[in-house]
Structure 1
Amino acid sequence: MRARAASLMAALICAVVGAPLAAGGLIRLTDRDDLFGWEAVGRLDLGLDGYCTGALIAPDLVLTAAHCVYDGDGAAISVQAMTFRAGLRDGAFISQSGIAQVAAHPGYVPGRDLTGDMVRHDAALLKLSQPIPAAVASPYMLAGEGQAGLRVSVLSYGRGRDAALSWQRDCAVTGAGQGVMKFDCDVTFGSSGAPVFVRSAGGNARIVSLISSGGGDAAYGMQLPEIVNDLKRALRAAPRIAPAAPRRMQVGQGHNAGGAKFEKP
């Protein structure tokens, strides 16, 4: 059974490689009005020159990729080096907070080659030292499991476009199975942890996945519902550390960094 599951995973990840990017394009969210409804997406700054994208799922909880919270040697990044800035754009932000606790999914092993199993568990939950009120940045709910053919959108920071959010409002799930999803969305370094949104029946944006890896012609993420439940349990057991006061940084600093490796599995 284990070998068969591995074969199915390999088939999913290898299939459709070379498919063209969606024609949705990228929209830069420059003005405050552009951010309406997207205030809870922000940039997670990691030390002096690293960053990823994250999103609030509660006033004090940020969801991002697990590989973002480790350095290139596989060591955990100190919470004192982390700051979450909601709605960051050209030096301004909706709100910011340091990080008090971090829980990466126990199924993610830092430093390992990027396999389907690593993508499936590449998620982390961060507890803010100061909650961001829902009236300032309304947290997102999770969607159910995504299926191939689903139309989605992605908001992310990225190399060369890290000063403000870029929104690809229309791309697609091109494959799904064994806890992994594949997208034809435009992602790059820094897009790690970016929320992948689907619209609910009521028109509200809900998070269906996070960007784990990708490049050029494809991106990959995980199915979220059970993963987030695991992360909440892990966070309750994680030590709480009083972070240092957030340090002011020049936006664009660290534009050559992206948190960690970002490649195709």
Structure 2
Amino acid sequence: MRRGGPVLAVLAAFALALPAAADGLRRLTDRDDLLGWEAVGRLDLDGKGFCTGTLIAPDLVLTAAHCVYDRRTNALRPADRIVFRAGLRDGVAIAERSGLQIAAHPGYNPALPPNTDNIRHDVALVRLEQPITSRDADPFAIHSGGNAGTEISVTSYGVGRAEALSRQRVCTLLGQRDEVMAFDCNVTFGSSGAPVFARVGGRGRILSLVSAGGNVNGRKVGFGMALPKRIAELKAQLRRDPVAAPDRRIIRLKPGTGRDNTGARFIRPGGG
């Protein structure tokens, strides 16, 4: 999650009176705690940090656009150096997949600090090399209805809590203007891309993503964006520029022909 002066101007535009502090975070420690949240995972970024991502289809991870750019070069990270670790808990993931293709919204400018336009477009999709079946992790739907109310929740990783998901059952949507939302959820570095859920129906639907944050009167405030239009644009981008998945068929080797290196690569996570 990025912080900086420009984002505080966004908050001022809402003219918000902050309510009482929201409920605290709860670590999803046990397998039973994680049940239903397996589609939220840690997105490890080429050994250079992590963000939070969420399955919205068996092979599509939704996250913040600024997560998929290298901050030093402002270039997209190599897709195959991004690893999605669904439901990661104390070193064990429900499933792990490398990226195959990245679609970052063209309206997002990685060279600029957070501002209303960048927050509005801070959305990316990572297509996975192989799908994760719904038997392992059931993808979340996007909230596309009318008013979601002001009671929301967030599930995320973050610095100091990178090894397991933490869920904040209740926080507050403080306001929305020009497709930018402000909320008082407990988020920090590494929470970028985390899903903000509308409390509608039997299972939460993703209302927004954590993009940036700031402090107001000693209180943390997060910022996100409206999603349906952005996601439709990104899916169209993936369709326009398809990338073929690698051929995973087994090749039988004849004696003396050698052996391919198929060892898995594990990325050491860091704060992000």
- Per the TM superposition, whether the score is higher than 0.5 is yes
Q: Offset at 1:177?
A: 1.6
- 1:189 paired residue number: 189
Aligned residue type for 2:48: D
Structure 1, unmatched stretches of 5+, are 1-8, 259-265
Partner of 1:168: 168
What is the deviation of 1:200?
A: 2.2
Once the two structures are superposed, the pairs formed by residues 8-87 of structure 1 within 5 Å of their partners are: 14-16=13-15, 19=18, 22-73=21-72, 74-87=74-87
Relative to structure 1, the CA distance from residue 145 to residue 235 in structure 2 (aligned partners, 3 Å threshold; closer, same or farther) is same
Distance 1:141 1:172, change over 3 A: same
Alpha-carbon distance in structure 2 between the residues aligned to 1:11 and 1:231: 25
CA offsets per residue over residues 91-124 of structure 1, 9 Å max, x none?
A: 0111010110000011111111211000000000
**Aligned-partner SS, 1:97:** strand
Pairwise CA RMSD:
2.3
Is the 2:148–2:198 contact (alpha carbons within 8 Å) kept by the matching residues of 1? no
**Paired position in structure 2 for 1:218:** 221
Contact persistence 1:145–1:225 (CA under 8 A): no
CA distance in 1, matches of 2:110, 2:263: 27
1:247 is aligned to 2:246: no
Contact 2:85 2:96 in 1 (8 A): yes
CA gap 1:62/1:21 in 2 versus in 1, 3 angstroms: farther
Change beyond 3 A, Cα 1:149–1:200: closer
Residues 1:47 and 1:174: Cα distance change in structure 2 (over 3 Å)? same
Partner SS state of residue 80, structure 1: helix
The residue number in structure 2 matching 1:119 is 119
TM-score normalised by L of structure 2: 0.83
Cα 1:82–1:130 shift into 2, 3 Å: same
The equivalent of 1:4 in structure 2 is none
**% identical equivalent positions:** 53
Amino acid of the residue matched to residue 203 of structure 2?
N
Instruction: Give the aligned partner of residue 237 of structure 2.
Output: 234
Q: Name the CA shift for 1:51/1:148 in 2 (closer, same or farther; >3 Å).
A: same
1:182–1:235: structure 2 CA closer, same or farther, 3 Å change rule? same
Q: Sort the Cα spacing of 1:117 and 1:127 in 2 relative to 1 into closer, same or farther, 3 A.
A: same
CA contact (8 A) 1:97 1:130 kept: yes
Gaps of 5+ in 2: 1-7, 247-261
Instruction: Tell me how far apart the structure 1 counterparts of residues 192 and 146 of structure 2 sit (CA, whole Å).
Output: 19
Number of residue-to-residue matches in the alignment: 245
Mark the CA change 1:31 to 1:232 in structure 2 (over 3 Å): closer, same or farther.
same
Deviations 1:145-177 (A, max 9, x none): 675851110011101110111111100110102
The offset of 1:11, in angstroms, is 6.1
TM-score (structure 1 length as normaliser) = 0.85
Shift of the 148–183 alpha-carbon distance from structure 1 to 2, 3 Å rule, reads farther
What does residue 6 of structure 1 align with? Answer: none
Q: Is the alpha carbon distance of 1:29 and 1:215 closer, same or farther for their aligned partners in structure 2, counting shifts above 3 Å?
A: farther
SS at 2:32's partner residue?
helix
Residue 144 of structure 1 and its aligned partner are, at CA, apart by 2.3
